[in-house]
């Protein structure tokens, strides 16, 4: 029996079928229902914005890696595509396309690649891009339109609750909020379809339920208490705005959220707390994205203080 | 059958890959013409050869004397003539002193091989002595001398013996077949261990992907007081000592401690069976069941192989290879040791010879850690493999130690599950070695000062 060349390496000698690419593909699959809803409610513009955001994100990552960092190009891991979709989900469908592209480039080049690429960004790139766009182009970023073909200018439900906008518009029904038939960013309006995507991610083991559940529960409980024990107001706060998008898809970003089970619950509660504080006391109608960005910054600290108790940490008998 | 199903926290689910051999009865391998018997087959001090080239030896005759307490003597697995006593490669990866014996194919039994009679006539110390003199070590793979486990440090009180029939390593079926075909022997061995350890309680833990083995041992232990067969969730590393103890007794072995710290000793079901042979037939440990499997093996089998038979000969008895091997592994795919040749002998701890195809053996390229935390979820010790690995890669071994690197049991679950394909356990092993070296250095400099 003559043997040719073969491999000698340390154990384990088999690996699971999981891969970064498969995880990112699962996230894209989970985002699809809400994306279709976005197109249904906001029309062809939603498709254009999403396409531009994805192309700009992927292209800027490829250019950055190949020509600036001179490293292997890793766009096939699909993480840049996910960032692109999430940026599109976080802007109104009316946003000029060059601003969309600028947001993607900012997310990938500054927030992701300048800090070491995938896994090393300390805040969520898509949310950082949203904050960047909101600060730079406040008017365009809040140019909401009602769903439908006419694209009538309208206020978001949270804007109405806050009373900041024209009060001539009636508050949409809870059902419209749940299915997403309200003004807002492309991907944030349909709580039902975002939830569907979230359930898929939990089923696939991509995310744990800890962050989304504790985030949404905190918002529900706090708005119920602070709104004077008004269950319908609490339900309104839960389904309106970007809470489901933020809790399921943004706060669970691996690189910028804690890895420990306890840390993930703290992350969710912290996000919920800051969201409610901004919505009730802040100048802005919506606080989900800033709450996540703030908790992103706290993540290394949370991870450090929530290291799980190791097995065998019991006292040794004498 | 009233059987509890138990488990531990964490763990992962590699594919079982046991179909090829789980239904195949154990066959005796052809007697080898030449055996190469290493003097180091166990954890602890190597043996000193007590035969020299030219000596005639008989089957079951002691050829290596244990040096030190943590050691186990070694016996000839054939009768014949010693050809050489020299360093040869063994599955541990290095060359060790081996006794090379040419068999006369007579299998003339050594005069000392005699039955010790029934368990009732033996005292605990006599049983311990039989276990020690028969060269019995843990048959699960680590090969820790069994008599040492039976003699816990003073002050430690034992109250249970656990037999490990989890066989959580994918591919391997040697323990499964043993439990099915020799259930009565396993139970006898457990009774001997319980008597030697002076305990009233015995557990036999078996993963629930082997319901037939659970049933066989349940039947074989009916009417024997104190023995409980427990089903274990099929999850890797269910057969790791501390995880098995936790599953059966809900007790955590303290960090850096021994099972005896929680009043338990754990032995493999294979160990129990060889103890039964040693007591009833007087036969020392000279052969073991080996699963020969993997996509590159033509006819996977469970074979009863003499210690010292070369891997090559064993594989040839399985029809040889269907393709060039991708990897040759002594043991299972999660913790087994990759070999660089088939010219190594089967030793006491060789539970399997796994030969992967080139496709299966291909190693994926590692990419950036995405901080998904899956390694944290699966770690059976609740460590954070990602942190230890990161510190190890930066040569920050103090920090790695502060992250409890030394508690890692090297099960490989973290490397297995990592979607970025990072070799986490490799870097943790490096950290452990480095920390050990530094501790030794500190100790010796203290001794000098």
**Contact at 8 Å (CB) between A117 and A74?**
yes
CA separation for the pair B386, B59 (Å, rounded): 50
* Alpha-carbon gap, residue B118 to B276, rounded angstroms: 10
Other CB atoms within a 10 A radius of the CB of residue A314 amount to 16
Dist CA A2 CA A11 (whole Å): 25
Q: Measure the CA–CA gap between B185 and B177, rounded to whole angstroms.
A: 13
Residue A98 neighbours by CB under 8 Å, 6+ apart:
none
Q: Could you tell me which residues come within 8 angstroms of residue B230 by beta carbon, excluding any fewer than 6 positions away?
A: B3, B4, B5, B6, B203, B204, B205, B206, B247, B248
Q: A interface toward B at CB cutoff 8 Å? A: 1, 3-16, 18-20, 22-23, 74, 77, 79, 116-120, 254-255, 259-260, 307-318
pLDDT value at position B3?
86
Rounded to a whole number, what is the largest CA-CA distance in chain A?
A: 87
Q: Report, as an integer, the average pLDDT of B396-416.
A: 95
Structure tokens at A167: 């009060």
Among the partner residues A11, A259, A260, nearest to B412 by beta-carbon distance:
A11
Q: What are phi and psi of A48, to 5 degrees?
A: -60, -45
Q: Do A8 and B170 lie within an 8 Å CB cutoff?
A: no
| Option in A77, A255, A308 nearest B382 (CB) | A308
Average pLDDT over residues B260-266: 94
The CA distance from B198 to B279, in Å, is 17
- Three-state DSSP state, A316: coil
DSSP labels, B321-356: BSS--SEEEES-TTT-EEES-S-SB--TT--EEEEE
Element (H, E) at A217: helix A210-226
Torsion angle defined by CA atoms of residues B334, B340, B343 and B349, in that order, rounded to the nearest 10 degrees? -30
Tell me: pLDDT of B97 over 60: yes
pLDDT in tens, B244-259: 999 999 999 999 899 9
Residue A164 in this model has a pLDDT that exceeds 60: no
Using CB atoms, pick whichever of A7, A118, A313 lies closest to residue B326: A7
Q: Of the CATH numbers 1.20.1260, 1.25.40, 1.10.3430, 3.30.310, which one belongs to the domain with range A20-305?
A: 1.10.3430
Q: What is the pLDDT of residue A64?
A: 96
Angle (CA) A38-A19-B410 rounded to 5° is 140
Spans of all domains in chain A? 20-305
Residue A40 CB neighbours (<10 A): 15
Contact criterion met (CB below 8 Å) for B39 and B266? no
Contact check, Cβ <8 Å, B370/A119: yes
DSSP 3-state assignment of B207?
strand
> Count of CB contacts below 8 A, A vs B?
172
Strands (E) located in B195-296:
201-207, 227-232, 264-268, 287-293
Task: Note the pLDDT tens digit of each residue in A106-144.
Answer: 999 999 999 999 999 999 999 999 999 999 999 999 888
Q: Please tell me which residue, A148 or B115, carries the higher pLDDT value.
A: B115
Give the number of residues written for chain A: 318
SS3 at position A17 = coil
Residues of B in contact with A120 (CB under 8 A): 368
pLDDT at residue A314, as a whole number: 65
Helices (H), B23-112: none
Q: For residue B441, how many C-alpha atoms fall within 13 Å in the half-sphere facing its CB?
A: 6
Mean pLDDT value of segment A228-244:
90
- What pLDDT does A232 receive? 87
Cβ B417–A315 below 8 Å, yes or no? Answer: no
What's the pLDDT score for residue A149?
57
Q: What is the pLDDT of residue A168?
A: 61
Those residues with Cβ within 8 angstroms of residue B299's Cβ, 6 or more apart along the chain or in another chain? B318, B319
For residue range B168-188, what is the model confidence (pLDDT) as tens digits? 999 999 999 999 999 999 999
**pLDDT score recorded for residue B73:** 96
Chain A residues inside the 8 Å CB shell of B247: none
For A11, the closest of B15, B335, B356 (CB atoms) is B335
State the pLDDT at residue A51.
97
Give the three-class secondary structure for B218. helix
Task: Supply the pLDDT for residue A246.
Answer: 96
The verdict on a CB contact (< 8 Å) between A3 and B252 is no
Torsion angle, CA of B75/B77/B79/B81, rounded to 10 degrees?
-70
Q: Record the tokens describing residue B40, joined without a space.
A: 């180091």
A-chain residue closest to B262, CA distance: A317
**B95 has which bridge partners?**
B89
- pLDDT tens digits for range B427-441: 999 999 999 999 999
pLDDT tens figures, B265-289: 999 999 999 999 999 999 999 999 9
A11 vs B342: CB contact, 8 Å cut-off? no
Beta bridge partners of B288: B305
The model's pLDDT over B345-356, given as tens digits with 9 standing for 90+, comes to 999 999 999 999
Residue A318 confidence (pLDDT): 39
- The C-alpha of A79 sits at a distance from chain B's nearest C-alpha, in angstroms, of 10
Q: How high is the ipTM of this complex?
A: 0.90
**Residue A158 confidence (pLDDT):** 82
pLDDT at A1: 66
Q: In b/e form, how buried is each residue of B116-155, taking b as 16+ CB within 10 angstroms?
A: beebeebeeeebbebbbbbbbbbbbbebbbbbbbbbbeee
The Cα of A2 is separated from the nearest Cα of chain B by a number of Å equal to 9
Nearest to A33 by CA among A252, A250, A200, A251: A200
Mutate to test the interface with B, among A2, A3, A12, A309 (most CBs of B within 10 A): A12
User: Which 8-state DSSP code applies to residue A198?
Assistant: H
Contacts of A204 (CB under 8 A, 6+ apart): A26
Cβ(B403)–Cβ(B391) under 8 Å?
yes
Looking at residue A4, what is its pLDDT? 86
Helix (H) or strand (E) holding B63: strand B62-65
* pLDDT (0 to 100) of residue A228: 87
Provide the pLDDT confidence category of residue B405 given band limits of 50, 70 and 90: very high
Does B205 score more than 90 pLDDT? yes
Mean of the pLDDT values across residues B68-81? 95
Q: Rg of chain A over CA atoms, in angstroms?
A: 21
The answer to whether the bond into B397 is cis (omega within 30° of 0) is no
A313 contacts in chain B (CB < 8 Å): 252, 254-255
Give the integer Cα–Cα distance in Å for A165 and A312: 58
- B275-329 per-position pLDDT tens digit: 999 999 999 999 999 999 999 999 999 999 999 999 999 999 999 999 999 999 9
Nearest partner of B9 among B205, B207, B242, B167, judged by Cα: B242
CA angle B160, B136, B186 (to 5 degrees): 55
pLDDT band at A317 (very low <50, low <70, confident <90, very high): very low
Query: For chain B, how big is the Rg over CA atoms in Å?
Result: 22
Q: Could you give the strand order of the β-sheet that contains B74-75, starting from the edge strand earlier in sequence?
A: B48-49, B62-65, B74-75
Cβ(B76)–Cβ(B37) under 8 Å? yes
- Residue B280 half-sphere exposure toward CB, CA atoms < 13 A: 13
Quickly count: other Cβ atoms within 10 Å of residue A68's Cβ.
11
The mean pLDDT of A150-171, rounded to a whole number, is 69
DSSP result, B160-189: EEEEEE---SSS--HHHHHHHH-HHHHHHH
Res. A167: pLDDT tops 70: no
Per-residue pLDDT, B398: 95
DSSP letter, residue B395: T
Q: Both tokens of residue B304?
A: 């009863």
What is the pLDDT, as a whole number, of residue B445?
Answer: 82
* Under 8 Å between Cβ of A272 and A233: no
């Amino acid at each position: 029996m003559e043997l040719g060349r073969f491999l000698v390496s340390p154990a384990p000698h088999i690996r699971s079928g999981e891969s970064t690419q498969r995880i990112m593909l699962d996230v894209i699959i989970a985002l699809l229902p809400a994306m279709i809803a976005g197109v249904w409610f906001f029309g062809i513009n939603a498709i254009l914005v999403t396409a531009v955001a994805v192309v700009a994100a992927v292209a800027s990552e490829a250019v950055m890696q190949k020509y600036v960092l001179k490293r292997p190009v890793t766009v096939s891991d699909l993480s840049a595509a996910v960032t692109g979709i999430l940026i599109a989900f976080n802007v109104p469908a009316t946003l000029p396309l060059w601003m969309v592209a600028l947001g993607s480039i900012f997310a990938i080049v500054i927030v992701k690649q300048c800090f070491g690429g995938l896994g090393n960004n300390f805040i969520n790139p898509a949310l950082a891009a949203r904050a960047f766009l909101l600060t730079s182009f406040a008017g365009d970023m809040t140019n909401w339109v009602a769903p439908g073909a006419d694209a009538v200018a309208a206020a978001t439900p949270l804007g109405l609750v806050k009373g900041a906008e024209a009060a001539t518009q009636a508050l949409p029904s809870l059902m419209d909020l749940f299915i997403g038939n309200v003004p807002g960013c492309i991907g944030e309006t349909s709580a039902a379809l975002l939830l569907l995507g979230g359930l898929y991610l939990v089923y696939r083991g991509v995310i744990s339920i800890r962050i989304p559940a504790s985030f949404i529960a905190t918002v529900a409980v706090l708005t119920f208490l602070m709104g004077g024990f008004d269950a319908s107001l609490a339900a309104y706060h839960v389904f309106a705005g970007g809470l489901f998008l933020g809790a399921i898809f943004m706060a669970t970003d691996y690189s910028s959220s804690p890895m420990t089970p306890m840390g993930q619950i703290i992350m969710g509660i912290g996000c919920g707390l800051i969201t409610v504080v901004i919505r009730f006391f802040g100048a802005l109608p919506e606080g989900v994205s800033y709450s996540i960005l703030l908790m992103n910054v706290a993540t290394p600290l949370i991870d450090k203080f929530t290291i799980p108790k190791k097995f065998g940490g019991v006292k040794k008998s004498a | 059958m009233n059987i509890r199903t138990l488990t531990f926290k964490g763990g992962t689910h590699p594919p079982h890959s046991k179909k090829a051999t789980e239904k195949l009865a154990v066959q005796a391998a052809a007697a080898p013409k030449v055996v190469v018997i290493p003097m180091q087959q166990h954890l602890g001090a190597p043996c000193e050869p007590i035969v020299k080239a030219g000596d005639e030896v008989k089957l079951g005759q002691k050829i290596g004397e244990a040096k030190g307490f943590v050691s186990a003597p070694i016996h000839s697995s054939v009768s014949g003539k010693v050809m050489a006593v020299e360093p040869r490669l063994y599955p541990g990866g290095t060359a060790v002193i081996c006794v090379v014996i040419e068999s006369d194919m007579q299998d003339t039994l050594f005069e000392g091989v005699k039955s010790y009679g029934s368990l009732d006539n033996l005292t605990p110390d006599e049983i311990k002595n039989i276990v020690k003199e028969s060269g019995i070590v843990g048959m699960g793979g680590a090969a820790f001398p069994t008599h040492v486990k039976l003699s816990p440090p003073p002050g430690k009180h034992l109250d249970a013996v656990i037999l490990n029939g989890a066989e959580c390593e994918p591919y391997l079926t040697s323990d499964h077949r043993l439990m099915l075909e020799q259930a009565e022997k396993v139970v006898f061995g457990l009774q001997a261990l319980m008597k030697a350890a002076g305990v009233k309680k015995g557990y036999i833990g078996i993963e629930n992907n082997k319901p037939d083995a659970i049933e066989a041992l349940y039947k074989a232990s009916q009417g024997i007081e104190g023995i409980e067969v427990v089903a274990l969730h099929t999850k890797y590393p269910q057969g790791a000592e501390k995880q098995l103890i936790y599953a059966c007794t809900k007790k955590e072995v303290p960090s850096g401690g021994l099972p005896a710290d929680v009043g338990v000793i754990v032995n493999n079901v294979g160990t129990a069976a060889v103890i039964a042979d040693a007591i009833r037939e007087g036969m020392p440990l000279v052969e073991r069941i080996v699963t020969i499997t993997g996509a590159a093996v033509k006819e996977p089998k469970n074979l009863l192989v003499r210690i010292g038979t070369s891997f090559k000969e064993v594989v040839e008895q399985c029809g040889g290879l269907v393709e060039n091997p991708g990897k040759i592994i002594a043991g299972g795919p999660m913790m087994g040791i990759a070999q660089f040749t088939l010219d190594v002998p089967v030793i006491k701890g060789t539970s399997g010879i796994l030969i992967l195809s080139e496709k299966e053996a291909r190693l994926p390229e590692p990419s950036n850690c995405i901080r998904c935390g899956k390694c944290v979820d699966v770690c059976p010790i609740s460590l954070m493999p990602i942190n230890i690995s990161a510190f190890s890669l930066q040569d920050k071994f103090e920090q790695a130690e502060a992250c409890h690197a030394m508690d890692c049991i090297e099960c490989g679950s973290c490397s297995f599950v990592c979607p970025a394909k990072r070799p986490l356990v490799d870097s943790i092993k490096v950290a452990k070695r480095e920390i050990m070296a530094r501790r030794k250095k500190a100790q010796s400099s203290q001794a000098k000062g």
